[in-house]
Structure 1
Amino acid sequence: RDEVEDEGMTGISTRFILKSIDAALADSTKNMITPLSIRDSLIRQVKEQIVSPEDRKFYLQFLQKVLHEEYLSILEKEITKAFVSAYEEQAESLFDNYLDHAEAYVNNTTLKDRVTSEDMRADENFLTSIEEQIGIKGSAKNSFRADITSYMFSKLRRGDVIDWRSYGPLKEAIESKLVASVRDISRIVTKSKSRDNKQQKKFNAMVQTLIDTYGYNEESAEEVIKFASNNLWRDS
């Protein structure tokens, strides 16, 4: 009790927060609010309602820096998931190739090149490029490749269906591999006139994932994607 003598007597009240949300709703021209519009409304309310210069500076710094950075972190995770969903075929292709090359590596055999049909050795550079996404390095690669090969083929023997999501660590590595090139994401989320047909389809898939998974509508999804392109990947 001694440590919180002023509990409930200082800080931002729930009434202040609700008033900011009401203001965001009132200012909306599209019958919707987003985390961005609520944050902007909170900033306006702080500037207009907080009298103390010291308190005003403290809350503005929190909203414009701490909250801003935290929201970017959350938004990046959401859009990354949407991005990977839009690249489902590439994810599955990476998975198939990894499994083929890992099996050849573990068994010290060759595999057929999918384009030329020529025999080839396991591509260690390719395997490493996937594994390094989750910190698999050095001698750890041998046990990782053996474990995943054994796990996948045991599932196949049981008649289970496998895909790129079947093994958690590999799924994480493939996701990281897909989003490692920020420039690719940036090209998709920039202005619509710069997208080709293929990119437009992927953009639409990203929007749909945000709608289905996180509860956005189409306009709010496009708004946060545009915000991400201006704040997460503008230097790519």
Structure 2
Amino acid sequence: MQEVPDLIVCEGCDAVYPRPELHSREVARCRRCGTVMARHWGRMHERMLPLTVACLILFAIANFFPIVKIQLRGLHSETTLVGAVMTLAGEGLSEVGLLVLLTTLLFPLVQLCVLLYLLLPISLRNQPPAGFRILVRAMQVMRPWGMIEVFLLGVLVAVVKLSGMAQVIPGAALWAFMGLTVLLTAVLAFEPQAFWRLTFGRQGENMP
């Protein structure tokens, strides 16, 4: 199939348009269905690397430190995310524990590690790393499965309910999860297709 670099096809309705010349932070949308067809990220990729490193630091704090500490009648209890997963497994809720482990630990961690692996050579040498195509596609597949914000919402609801029965002290991990949720929103907004643009130029923008 012959590529036509001066044309762009809408992924929503297959309408064909001349490829627009975009300036920094401009977005091109389909006139028929409103689908975003092209986006100029400006120098966003240069800020993605430090944001990704910050996400990994917060991710480590969120998983190695207690989420909350509960005190009741002189007794206290605290747990980490991994500890909560193990507790679920021990109470016969292995499926729920596995789901929590995958969506709040494994998938977000893999996404961040892949993002760091992709950004380092692009930022330092302007060259794609080995396995570039497979990893960009993998990021696009994993994106819907990272649900840290859902986990955080559940924890906050539980904290509010428990505060009426016991003293609940937020741990370092809870604050780290809050910061991580904000940073991940910014980091994962950087669409995987933008890597094609950064690495292969104009013709890379719509490559699969």
Measured against the shorter chain, the TM-score band is 0.3 to 0.5
Select the structure that is richer in helix: 1
Bigger radius of gyration among the two: 1
Select the structure that is richer in strand: 2
- Give the alignment's TM-score, normalised by structure 2: 0.32
